[in-house]
Structures are given as structure tokens and as C-alpha cells.
Structure 1
């Protein structure tokens, strides 16, 4: 069979290894990550969902493949991980080592998910099915948002919290992860209003907002390609309802990211001559803006901004992050450190600044180059698959003010992996099954992909 090279792989940096899978990769690890996320959250390990799902993925790939396919340019990301590992030499306290270990697990987990999805056959995991899995995750995010709206003072005592040593569980950052709250309750000094901002099923409201923004393109992709037509009106109704917790977060960054992503998609569709796509995107934006105006959202955000130091604080912390990184430009500091002038930590107000301060300027250049390459190399995605390309494009915008090293990075990598997969899937050979790993029956030999 003549191999057909995807145009998404022609503009690369390194040659990819063309290999063969000995059996199709099972999808149950992805269900653990997305479908079973509420269970992980209730157990207190929702923040560790990526490494938990990545562990069996790595084992399955090791057992089920002769050699894992690697996309062109992947060495850029490997070099970034090298600098990340090396930055651990700059750690000086046990709590900082714990934080570094958490971030490292998430980076490695996202890496494994990326390779796993990239190696999944299009027959086993078509883009529609992948978008459906992520849409289930989006549904849990919306439900968590409503928990924060109706029960803002609620929280969970989790099993994982109970088994952790007291010295670890009492750490403020760890406590936020293993004892999840339904909302962040903020009382800015002098403000006449207490702001109850939904955060469940994540530790922070900004995490809810960043996930919601990155999930929207997947949801749109699934709504446009769902095999069962009744799914589409149901998703539309849930999306409309999701505006309630979305507006309650008062998350300006989320609204900016969604607006940027939709405007970019509208422009790309218009340049391709797809007027109906342009009309649909513009209609979606108008509905959102109209709902925001009628709900009085702008006035509430204005009130919060008036009494909050978030704007001036971010500008100051960004400047401090750059200036202090000059003292350790190659390896950074291994992780965030307390600010010298503000009551927050340097490297916690945007992933761009976190990578720079924590891992140094070379790691920052590699991270940005990798993220840019994912967006660039998926730019020719056809038809509705364009929404996969929109995800890394949005990440390029969000990286300056959102942390993206949790399941946000998994979503970015998953969208890119789905867009970068070559259309000529590896040949699948009949082999003896291992039910405990795959849960699948032996399959007939097939060649190619859908």
C-alpha cells in the first residue's frame, strides 16, 4: 500500500519514525482521564488525573507496540523536558520539591497522552469519538460550576487527604488540591460585595475558566460531527445553561480567550469561503455578548476590578519574574518563589512567566517554539477539524495569563495529536490479546484507517 503523507507533517524539523502497531491501543485509559474524572475528584486525586491515566497508557504502548511513532519536531519538547529536569538542582526546600514533583508529573503525563493519542488508529479513535470523550469532561466541568453557584461554601473531605502525612496535607497548595472547594470566596478590601466564584471540579476559578475556554472547540467539533442528531440540541441547551457558572466566575481571561478563539476561527473559515461557518461563529458570539449584557456581567466585573489589585499586581509580578530570572537565566529557580514586594508568588500568574522563572530562558524558548509548532502544523486542518487547530492557537494567547500545566496541557496536546496524526494508520496485525491490559478481543488484520 502506498503511504500517503499528511500535509500536516511536511513542514517539520526532524524525521518521524514509521513503525507498526502490534495491536490497536485501547481507549479505556482515556475514559479514566475524561469520563471517570468526577470519581478521581471525589477521591481527592483529580489534580493528578493526567499522570494517573498516563501510567497505564505508557504500559500499554510499551507492551502493544514495536516502536512508538514520534511526530516531527518532538525533539523540541524533549529538550524542554531536559531543562525542566535540570532545574531541579535549584530547589532548596522540601515543599518546593513537592511542588516540582507535582508539575513534573503533569508534564510527563501530558507528554504520554500526546504520544498515546498520536499513535491511536483513526479507526479506533476518530476525531468525532475523541471530541465526544472530551465533551463528557466538559459536562463534568459545567456540573462542577453549578455546584459552585448553588453551594459556594461547599467542599469535600477526600480519602487521599486522609492518608497524606500531615506535613504535606497542611501545605496550602496541596490542601487546595486534595480538599477541593466548590468556589473561591473573595472579599477584596473595601469592596461592598463578596465574590463567590465557582471553581469545582478544580482548585481555582482560573483553572475552571481556562478549562472551559479550551474545551469549547472540542464541544463545537462534537456538536458538528455527532452521529446521533439528537446530541446536537442537547449540547446546545447545556452550552446555554453553562453560561450561568461561566458568568459567575467573573473570569475576564476566559472571555478574552473564547472571543479570541471564535474570532480566529471566523477569520479562517471566511478565508476558505465558508460563509455559513462565519455566520455561525458570529451568531454564537452575538448570543454570548447579548447574554452577558442582559445579566449585568460587565458591571459586576467592573466592580471587582475597581476593588481588586489584579491588574497592577500582575504587571508588577511579571516585571519581577523577568528581572529575577536574570539572576538564574539558564535553569531558573525550579519553581515559584515568594515575591519580594507583593503577597503572591512569582511564577504563578501565567504559564509563560512560570516556565521562564522556574526553568530559565532556554526552557521558555523551547516551550514557546513547541507550542507555536503545534499551532502552525495543524493550520491546514480540513472542515470542522479546524476546531482542533483553534485549541493550540488559543493556548498561544492564554499562556501569558493562565497556568496551563494541568489537564489544560492535556487538552492542548490532545487536540494537536489528533490534528497531526498521519492518515495512513499503522497496520494492525492479529496477536494474542492480553485482557488485563486491553480489555479487547483479537481482531482481524486491517490496513489503513478511516
Structure 2
């Protein structure tokens, strides 16, 4: 990577230094910490330019503030009273939304001398390598977990919140019986196995741009080897959303690339398919497709989320709620005879549903409009960064049906948006 200006240090600390944040128990919350020096630097550099769609994000923030008025309300089909944990979760999500806005503004106000585009792309590539390493860690040491420094300093009423606990307690994998027997699903260095899948697919896009499109011969050879290695945790993650996202990415490239590049993509995809079919990996995928483990759970929580959101359709309820019962039983809580019983949080099976329960239809519409507007605005940018950024925007809209974007995925979505915005600024357009 080219040497960057000292002003860009918060970006390097966030992306290249991410494993350190994870070990400290901050992980995706690192953006909140680093938003403070970013905001201070922006304040000294006024006036601050803003990206297209900035107003939509401000309205999203304003709607989330308004939704806080509903924190004490309980829609039908849910249970529980307002608690310190619910307020803490609301405040944390609000801080994340604000911090990510600061992150986008900061990136857009650094010029090419301070932070070259290719350097930012390759920083994302470094995080891709970290993600792949985390995937292997989850497969080889699935039981690895430890108490982070963040857990030690937070009061119990905060650290005991389920949402917060996932963010501050480092674990290598989630062990689930997706195939009918216990099997680890990688999640290091992120908060959930699904976050690992979403993040890997986005980072893979930028890794290819930085290491293949703009890479030397040596980088390209290394990229092929690293992508082949990455296939192992990708398959063993049992992450169907990730698999679909990769298929969409290939289809997108075939549609948008020129004839020669399209032929290269098709040849690479065909070679990869042949190698995959000749290894034991294909049996894992077949078993996963034959056992749609989470379909019933998702159907229940999505239906319950839509029903609950219908009682506050404009501003939502500020935070998620727990459903009464689950897809197996009207009872709540695990028992000896019902290990799958529990309190599924509404809005946990996709950011669209999360927005419906927390911010209502208005929040969902603003979120979609922000990212769909980026696709429309930058579709004609056929540079590698432009096409890669638009692809990520498409993945954002795909993943909102199956993945929660908070915490780390949304940071990567918005960094990708910032790359598109920076590219347009370098061309003198918006």
C-alpha cells in the first residue's frame, strides 16, 4: 500500500487494526471510538462537503430519535417491560448510526493525497484476509472464546444484554445443529456467523479489485491461492445468504464486464465449479440445501415482526422486542423437552425487518432509498471501483432480507458507498 497522510490514521486503525479492536471487546463498536477523532478533524476542516443522499441519512437518524418515544410500548404478540438493557441497546444503535455518518463524511473529505483510493481498497483487502483467517480459526478452534477487557469494565446490566454481549465477548464460532449434528459456523472476528458471511462477500469484492484488477503478477497469483483457501470457510459456514450473494456477484460481472473480461469470469467460475465438485466441499453444500434448518424460524419471526410493526407503522418501537413463543411452541424459554424454544428477537432475520420494528415503514423506505439511489447515481461509472461499489450496493439490498446490517456490515456498506462518492469527486461529478 502507498504511504498515507497522518490524517488518515483512523481509517487504518479501523480496517487494518480491526483484530485488535475485536480482542479488546470493541470490534464493530470501534467505529464509535474512532468517530470522535474523525469528527474533531472534520470540525477543524470546515466547511465539510456532504454526499448525495445525505439528507436521507439525516432523516433516518431523525426517525430513529423519534422512535425512542415508543421504547416503553409493547406491541401485541411480544412481552417484557422497558429496561436499562433496552435503553442501552437503543443508545448503542443510535451511536452507531451517527458514527457511521461521520465515517462517510470523513472519507469523502480526505483527498487523494491524504488517502489514495487504491490504498483504501487494499485496506479493505487486508480486512478480507483477516476475515478468512477468522474463518479458519472458527473451524479449527470452534470453542475459542475469552472475556474481553470491555466486558470487565462494563456494568453487568449493560454487558448482560444479549445484543451487547455478542458485540463485546470474542468467540471464534457459533456451534449449531444446522445439518442435524453439531457443527461450527465461523464468526471471528465479528459478532455473528451471518455477519461473517456478509462481511466476507463485501470484502472479497474489494480484495479482487485491489489484488487482481490493480495487482502485479505476484499479487494476482497470491490472490488466486487466497481465494481458493477462502472457499473452505465459505462452504463450512453453511451460510446460504453468502452463497447467494456470491452467485449474484458472478451474474453481475457477466452482465456488466466487457467480452474479454466476461470470458475470464466465466472460465474462472467453471474451473472453480469443477474443483469444488471434485472435493468433499460439495457434499456439505448438498446437505445444507437439503436441510433448510432456519426456514421455519425465519418465517415465524418475519411474520411476527410485520404483525408487531403494523401497530406502529410510521415510527416503529425504537428497539427490537421478544416474541411470545416461537415456531415450535406457544411457551417461552428452553425446557428439557423443547431445546429450540426461546424468545426470538423480532427483526433479527434481516435489516429490512429490523427497520420495520425499530423505525417503522418510514425508516425502511429511507434506508432503501439511500442505497438504491447510489445504484442509480453511479451505475454509469464503469471503472473498477465504480462497478465494485455498485455491486456492493446491490448486495446491501439483497442482504437486507436475510442479514441484520448492524454492526460491522453497515460500516462496510457505507465505506463502499464512500468509495463511490470519492470516485465521483475525482471526476468532478456528483
TM-score bracket relative to the smaller structure: 0.7 to 0.9
Distance change in 2, residues 1:292/1:250 (3 Å): farther
Q: Secondary structure at the match of 1:202?
A: coil
| Matching residue of 1:45 | 26
1:143-158 aligned at under 5 Å gives the runs 143-158=133-148
Q: Which runs of 5+ in 1 are unaligned?
A: 1-23, 427-447
Structure 1 stretch 214-223 or stretch 168-177: which is displaced more?
Answer: 168-177
Distance 2:105 2:6 in 1: 11
Distance 2:270 2:37 in 1: 43
Correspondence 1:31 to 2:9: no
Residue 316 of structure 1 and its aligned partner are, at CA, apart by 2.4
| Matching residue of 2:420 | 419
| Matching residue of 2:67 | 87
Residue 198 of structure 1 and its aligned partner are, at CA, apart by 1.1
Residue 156 of structure 1 and its aligned partner are, at CA, apart by 2.1
Distance 2:53 2:288 in 1: 43
Residue 292 of structure 1 and its aligned partner are, at CA, apart by 3.8
CA deviation digits over 1:3-44, x for unaligned, max 9? xxxxxxxxxxxxxxxxxxxxx882111011101111111111
Correspondence 1:232 to 2:213: no
| Matching residue of 2:398 | 397
Distance 1:305 1:265 in 2: 25
Structure 1 stretch 134-143 or stretch 44-53: which is displaced more?
Answer: 44-53
Does structure 1 conserve the Cα–Cα contact (< 8 Å) formed by 2:236 and 2:284? no
Distance change in 2, residues 1:227/1:183 (3 Å): closer
| Matching residue of 2:106 | 116
Q: Which runs of 5+ in 2 are unaligned?
A: 72-81, 327-341
| Matching residue of 1:16 | none
Distance 2:423 2:188 in 1: 37
Distance 1:399 1:225 in 2: 28
Does structure 2 conserve the Cα–Cα contact (< 8 Å) formed by 1:351 and 1:399? yes
Distance 1:48 1:69 in 2: 25
CA deviation digits over 1:290-337, x for unaligned, max 9? 344334445434545655641122122212211211101111111211
The TM-score with structure 1 as length reference comes to 0.83
Does structure 1 conserve the Cα–Cα contact (< 8 Å) formed by 2:212 and 2:219? no
Alignment coverage as a number of residue pairs: 398
| Matching residue of 1:10 | none
CA deviation digits over 1:135-166, x for unaligned, max 9? 11111111111111110111122111111212
Q: Output the aligned Cα RMSD.
A: 2.2
| Matching residue of 1:263 | 251
Distance 1:383 1:306 in 2: 40
| Matching residue of 1:431 | none
| Matching residue of 1:167 | 157
Distance 1:336 1:284 in 2: 43
Does structure 2 conserve the Cα–Cα contact (< 8 Å) formed by 1:182 and 1:199? yes
Give structure 1 regions of 4+ aligned residues with deviation exceeding 6 angstroms: none
Residue 53 of structure 1 and its aligned partner are, at CA, apart by 2.2
| Matching residue of 2:335 | none
